[in-house]
């Protein structure tokens, strides 16, 4: 399938399935994906597949200026975002000035649209960095990925490009003391002859055990909506997502579903 890269530092606003009217923030190059995961379902494609490998991350000043101009222009048009969302062409916390960018964003949000939320979509790979954790604790929606409670499933779906340790990741997520949202992508199909399905009983049970340890304030579950790098991947039916959500709700978790 056809995948794409975000070609601006600030993009949108777009209508997000999970977040409302979202103004997107891309801290990665506008012509290259950089991520510590290589998720098989990523709408930006696989690492190194698209774009110019010489592309550079924007500077802190460039990010602040781009956001300020965008917010000023939106206000002139009588528009305000519900949320300012860090996502873009890869993992936003890989930006070397991530914590300072968050401080700048809070300042601009408070000036131009104080009712807007600030969200970060992250894969949790930089939670070993104290300044990243401190920055995530300052925002409204600290959204962390957890696609399964089984290491082998995460390795298959998310393809981390560092020595991934699930138990360590769970402990790092637990350390937020509930000040986080867990986001889980459910997907089915096959890839290179290997069955793909993180809705199995083993996956769901282990995922629930992980959630019980982490105790997030909310859980977001969803399935693929846009193009992915593999034509053989399939959406999980909405009915199945609601079945999973029902089980999680019975365990005491607040759950939202996006089909």
- The size of the chain, in residues, is 259
Q: What is the pLDDT of residues 102-144, one digit of tens each?
A: 999 999 999 999 999 999 999 999 999 999 999 999 999 999 9
**10-258: which CATH topology?**
TIM Barrel (3.20.20)
d(CA 80, CA 74): 6
pLDDT confidence of residue 162 = 93
The DSSP secondary-structure symbol of 195 reads: E
Secondary structure of residue 252 in the 3-state scheme:
coil
pLDDT tens-digit map of 48-68: 765 566 779 999 999 999 999
Domain boundaries, the chain: 10-258
Q: In whole angstroms, give the CA distance from residue 206 to residue 228.
A: 26
121, 93, 25: which is closest to 64 by C-alpha? 25
- Dist. CA 11–CA 145, nearest whole Å: 22
Residues 6+ positions from 65 with CB-CB distance below 8 Å: none
pLDDT band at 32 (very low <50, low <70, confident <90, very high): confident
- What is the per-residue pLDDT for 50? 59
Instruction: Quote the pTM value.
Output: 0.94
**Average pLDDT along the chain:** 93
| pLDDT tens sequence across 216-226 | 999 999 999 88
CA dist., res. 30 & res. 50, Å (int): 11
Residue of 142, 222, 208, 201 whose CA lies nearest to 176: 142
């Amino acid at each position: 399938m056809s995948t794409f890269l975000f070609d601006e530092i600030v993009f949108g606003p777009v209508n997000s399935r999970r977040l409302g009217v979202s103004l997107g923030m891309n801290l990665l190059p506008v012509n290259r994906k950089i991520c510590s995961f290589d998720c098989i379902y990523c709408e930006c494609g696989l690492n190194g597949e698209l774009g110019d490998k010489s592309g550079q991350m924007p500077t802190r000043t460039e990010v602040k200026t781009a956001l300020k101009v965008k917010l000023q222009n939106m206000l002139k048009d009588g528009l305000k975002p519900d949320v300012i969302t860090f996502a873009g062409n890869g993992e936003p916390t890989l930006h070397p000035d991530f914590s300072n960018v968050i401080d700048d964003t809070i300042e601009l949000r408070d000036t131009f649209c104080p009712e807007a939320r600030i969200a970060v979509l992250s894969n949790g790979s930089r939670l070993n960095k104290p300044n990243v954790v401190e920055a995530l604790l300052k925002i409204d929606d600290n959204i962390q990925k957890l696609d399964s409670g089984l290491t082998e499933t995460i390795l298959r779906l998310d393809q981390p490009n560092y020595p991934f340790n699930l138990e360590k990741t769970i402990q790092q997520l637990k350390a937020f003391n509930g000040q986080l949202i867990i986001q889980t992508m459910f997907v089915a199909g096959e890839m290179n002859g290997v069955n793909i399905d993180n809705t199995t009983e083993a996956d769901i049970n282990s995922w629930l055990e992980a959630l019980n340890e982490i105790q997030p304030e909310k859980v977001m579950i969803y399935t693929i909506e846009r193009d992915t790098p593999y034509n053989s991947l399939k959406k999980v039916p909405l009915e199945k997502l609601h079945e999973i959500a029902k089980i999680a709700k019975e365990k005491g978790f607040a759950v939202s579903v996006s089909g």
